[in-house]
Chains A and B, each alone.
Chain A
């Protein structure tokens, strides 16, 4: 069996597969299916300074080859996370990434301060949530605001800092450069693409928030293209995500330039997807004589 471990911003992962924020809660539910150490890491449900209730339901709609969701960052707040969820997570033998979202810059800074004093392995800056009125994506759609928020959090964050980017922008490579210049240690991308479904019988949007974030196989080629473009523009590692549902997708995303991967929606279809994807990558590496996952990263030969 091939060695699946990767290193991102100085953090060692047993596997390139990380559970994507918002799809995996704080890990308890999926630990019924497999040891969480099968995953390289867990990016926890996005947390805010105070508890948030999230959006009214319905919060999800199916699409061709995907889903649209608008949960709206329902979470118990950063203090609850640190006291109640983190201790158990740290016993699971996998990298723990705290995903943080704020209404204001100050809230991001306060959460970075608090989490820097815990055993969290990395902090992922969520400036790309499409489903909340304030905060979230408002910080993530211009080079200036991404640079400013990344720079501020950098000052308050002693952990490796990952900045999670929105695909709902004109030029994602320019945004990524701003994050890098402001001190990000890695980029994770892509968050969901905004989308909408309408019930033609009731003439109402299916999701109560009207719009939501599209994920699943439907977004995969968009994500691959964006990861490839950003990989060609920056020098810090990329955690690639967006519609990976089988091992072939994982290898393709690595080839486009990702150093590690996040998966989410595919586990709603098949909770055992991480185990199967790990096995598939391993067999591929053995077949191709590849010794390290890092050899696959960015190995595409463009025309």
Chain B
């Protein structure tokens, strides 16, 4: 089994920052299959389309999904209570390719921070750079710290941590790291990707797109890539991604 749609028991679904929820769901068949960077496609009662949410963390029995309320679907999701069951299709997509014995730098911006937690747990003493707009949106700092990461916190307005962009921190760390994994807003990913290219550091980025089936059948979540021979192509975030080599993505 690669993936399946099954019922999950909601263990927890609590607001951890302004409009951001931390949901833990239990299903032993599926949770153990999840790899860092993959996502879960959640059925929201009354909605035609499922909501793709990145996997923040996973163990043998649970998936942890940290999501932001952005519209009607995630609003409904945020009202689901502990003890209820929800239908989740998971684990989906191609996640991060994390090798042993390499020094990684994991970078998350805003709601792109959650998938970095599970990813950072796969390596020894990684550098983790997290960036947020302001102090009200800061999440998961305690979790990263517990996992023995070299953690950096930045905010755009300096209301918590360092007043800087994640790329300001990355610049200072470039000569210490072998590879970058990043998730966040497109301008941030573009800047990180450029900096990595200039310094010849491999960079994997996780992308978002409006999605349909979630498994690669309907072809709606297209991402433009440049092939080695220079030709343009559209691949799909749900199946070919969400994680891509930043060099092939056309921003």
Interface, chain A (partner B; CB < 8 A) = 22-25, 28-30, 32-33, 45, 53-63, 65-67, 69, 71, 74, 206, 216-217, 265, 267-272
Chain A residues within an 8 Å CB radius of B212: 60, 67, 69, 268
Q: Decide: A25 and B48 in contact? CB cutoff 8 A.
A: no
The answer, among B1, B210, B213, B232, for a CB contact under 8 Å with A268, is B213
Chain B residues within an 8 Å CB radius of A54: 219, 222, 234
The answer, among A53, A55, A57, A270, for a CB contact under 8 Å with B209, is A57
Residue of A nearest to B214 (CB): A268
The answer, among B48, B89, B219, B221, for a CB contact under 8 Å with A265, is B48
Give bound CA distance, A82 to B31, whole Å: 38
The answer, among A71, A269, A271, for a CB contact under 8 Å with B49, is A269
Q: Decide: A29 and B215 in contact? CB cutoff 8 A.
A: yes
**25 A–B pairs (Cβ distance < 8 Å), ordered by A:** A22-B218, A22-B219, A29-B216, A32-B3, A32-B4, A45-B219, A53-B232, A56-B224, A57-B221, A57-B223, A57-B234, A59-B219, A59-B220, A60-B49, A60-B210, A60-B221, A63-B48, A65-B48, A74-B234, A268-B48, A269-B47, A269-B48, A270-B87, A271-B89, A271-B213
Chain A residues within an 8 Å CB radius of B214: 268
Chain A residues within an 8 Å CB radius of B223: 57
Give bound CA distance, A63 to B72, whole Å: 11
Given A45-B219, A56-B224, A62-B47, CB of A29 within 8 Å of CB of B5: no
Given A23-B213, A23-B217, A32-B4, CB of A74 within 8 Å of CB of B222: yes
Counting CB contacts under 8 A, is B64 at the interface?
Answer: no
The answer, among A24, A53, A270, for a CB contact under 8 Å with B43, is A270
Residue of B nearest to A217 (CB): B48
Give bound CA distance, A46 to B247, whole Å: 31
Question: Which residues of B149-190 have CB atoms within 8 Å of chain A's CB atoms?
Answer: none
CB distance from A113 to the nearest CB of B (A): 26
Counting CB contacts under 8 A, is B2 at the interface?
Answer: yes
Given contacts A54-B222, A62-B49, A268-B50, could you give 9 more A-B pairs where the C-beta distance is less than 8 Å? A25-B217, A25-B218, A29-B215, A29-B217, A32-B3, A53-B232, A62-B47, A269-B47, A271-B89
Q: Decide: B50 and A269 in contact? CB cutoff 8 A.
A: yes
Counting CB contacts under 8 A, is B233 at the interface?
Answer: yes
Given A67-B49, A217-B48, A269-B49, CB of A30 within 8 Å of CB of B217: yes
Q: Would you call the interface of chain A mostly helix, strand, loop, or mixed?
A: loop
Residue of A nearest to B87 (CB): A270
Q: Decide: B5 and A69 in contact? CB cutoff 8 A.
A: no
Give bound CA distance, A216 to B213, whole Å: 13
Give bound CA distance, A67 to B217, whole Å: 15
Interface centre among B49, B209, B223, B233 (most CB of A within 10 A): B49
Give bound CA distance, A226 to B226, whole Å: 44
CB distance from B176 to the nearest CB of A (A): 36
Q: Decide: A33 and B5 in contact? CB cutoff 8 A.
A: yes
CB distance from B224 to the nearest CB of A (A): 7
Interface, chain B (partner A; CB < 8 A) = 1-5, 43, 47-50, 73, 87, 89, 209-224, 232-234, 239
Give bound CA distance, A28 to B43, whole Å: 22
CB distance from B223 to the nearest CB of A (A): 7
Chain A residues within an 8 Å CB radius of B217: 23-25, 29-30
Interface centre among A33, A65, A269 (most CB of B within 10 A): A269
The answer, among A30, A33, A53, for a CB contact under 8 Å with B233, is A53
CB distance from A87 to the nearest CB of B (A): 19
Chain B residues within an 8 Å CB radius of A265: 48
Interface centre among B2, B217, B221 (most CB of A within 10 A): B217
Residue of A nearest to B209 (CB): A57
Chain A residues within an 8 Å CB radius of B5: 33, 270-272
Chain A residues within an 8 Å CB radius of B239: 29
Q: Decide: A57 and B48 in contact? CB cutoff 8 A.
A: no
Residue of A nearest to B47 (CB): A62
Given A58-B210, A69-B212, CB of A32 within 8 Å of CB of B222: no
Chain B residues within an 8 Å CB radius of A270: 5, 43, 87
Chain A residues within an 8 Å CB radius of B4: 32-33
Q: Decide: A60 and B220 in contact? CB cutoff 8 A.
A: yes
Give bound CA distance, A137 to B164, whole Å: 52
Q: Decide: B43 and A216 in contact? CB cutoff 8 A.
A: no
Chain B residues within an 8 Å CB radius of A33: 4-5
Give bound CA distance, A55 to B220, whole Å: 9
Give bound CA distance, A59 to B234, whole Å: 12
Give bound CA distance, A60 to B212, whole Å: 7
Give bound CA distance, A207 to B224, whole Å: 16
CB distance from B77 to the nearest CB of A (A): 14
Chain A residues within an 8 Å CB radius of B232: 53
Q: Decide: B215 and A269 in contact? CB cutoff 8 A.
A: no
For the complex of A and B, 6 pairs with smallest distance between CB atoms: A25-B217, A60-B220, A59-B220, A29-B215, A29-B217, A58-B210
Residue of B nearest to A62 (CB): B49
CB distance from A145 to the nearest CB of B (A): 27
